[in-house]
Amino acid sequence: MKALIIGGAGFVGAYLIRELSTAGAEVHATCLPSESITETCFTHTLDIMDIGSISALLAEVAPDVIFHLAAQSSVAVSWKKPQLTANINVVGSINVLEAVRAAEKKDIRIIMIGTGEEYGFIREGACPLSEDEPLNPGNIYAATKACQEMISRIYVRAYDMDIVMVRAFNHSGPAQSDIFVISDFCRQIAEIEKGMRPPEIRVGNLSAMRDFTDVRDVVRAYRLLAEKGTRGRVYNIGRGRAVKIQYILDTALSFSDTEISVTNDPARMRASDTPLIEPDVSLVHGDTGWKAEITMEQTSRDTLDYWRGIL
C-alpha cells in the first residue's frame, strides 16, 4: 500500500506513520512549512488551503490511500477563531476532495477523520451511540467536522468516490497535548514528583463518563479501515465502554508513590457536561475485526512515563 497522510505532524500522525510503516506500507506524510516530521517516511510540505499544491502532490506520490488528518483540532481555538476553523476543516477538506476528483483517480481511498464530538447534545438513553444517531454538534469544531463528513458523503454519491468516514472518540497516549484529560493528569503528577508544583492535583468534573482508547489502537483501526472498510460508510472508533473521569484520576494516581491531594479547579469545569458519552463500535468490529486492545491503565502508565521522561 502507498499511503499519503495529510497532516502527519500532529499527535495522531506520528503514530499512524509508525503503524503503516510496520505493516509494510510506503508512507508519505505532509506537514505545514512551520512543522517537521520526526518519524521515518517520505515527507512533503503542504498547506491544504492551496489546492494546486495538493494536486501536484497527488501527481508526484500517486497514493493508493489518503488519510486526511489535517485540521484545526482544538475546540477552544474553534470558539476563538471560527472562520479559521471552518476554512481549514471544511474548505481545506473540500480542497482535498476536489484535488482527488480532478485527478480522476476514483480508486484512491480516502479515510476522512471526524470526531465523536459530532454527536454533540445527545438525547437521554441514546448511549451507546450508533452511527445512525442524529448529529447535534455543541461546538464550532464539532460542527465543522460534521460538515466535512456530510460533504464527503456527497462526494461518494455524486462522484462515486471511495471515501470511508470516521468518528473517533477520545484517544490518548504519550506525547498528547496536556489540554486532554489523561495527559493533563499525568503531566501534573510528573511535575509534582519532580517538585515543580505543590503536591496537589487540580481537576474538573470527575463524574462525567467518557470512552477512552489508546492512540495506538486508533491508528490500527484507521489502517484496517483503509484495507477492509466499506466505501461510503461512517464508523465510530472507540473502546465502547465509558469510564468515569474519577477512575482515570485514580488510575493515574495509583502509578505514583508521591502523596498527592485532589483539588477542584473551576477553570477545568465545563458549563454543561453531558453525563455519559459512549459509542457503539459493533460496525467497525463487524467490518474489520478491530477492537481496542490496549487497556486504559496501560495508556495512563505510558503517558505518565512520557512526562517523567521529558520534564
- Residues engaged in binding ligand A2R (CB under 6 A): 7, 9-13, 32, 35, 46-49, 69-73, 88, 92, 113, 115, 168
Nearer to ligand A2R (CB atom), residue 89 or residue 193: 89
Q: Minimum CB separation from ligand A2R for residue 220, in Å?
A: 15
Min separation Cβ 92 and ligand A2R, Å: 5
Minimum gap (Å) between residue 271 Cβ and ligand A2R? 22
* CB of 176 vs ligand A2R, minimal distance in Å: 7
Place of cell 477520545: 170
CA proximity to 88, closest of 140, 144, 135: 144
> Which is nearest to 4 in space by CA: 41, 51, 50?
41
Residue 72 CB, nearest approach to ligand A2R (Å): 6
Q: Please, which residue, 86 or 192, has the CB nearer to ligand A2R?
A: 86
> Can you tell me whether residue 101 is helix, strand or coil?
helix
> 222 — phi, psi (to 5°)?
-60, -45
Q: How many residues does the chain have?
A: 311
CA distance 111 to 162: 9
| Residue 16 near residue 37 (C-beta atoms within 8 A) | no
Nearer to ligand A2R, 35 or 297 (CB): 35
Chain position whose Cβ is nearest to ligand A2R: 10
**With respect to ligand A2R, which residue has the nearer C-beta, 11 or 185?**
11
3-state helix, strand, coil in the chain (%, to 5): 45, 20, 40
By beta-carbon proximity to ligand A2R, the closer residue of 108 and 237 is 237
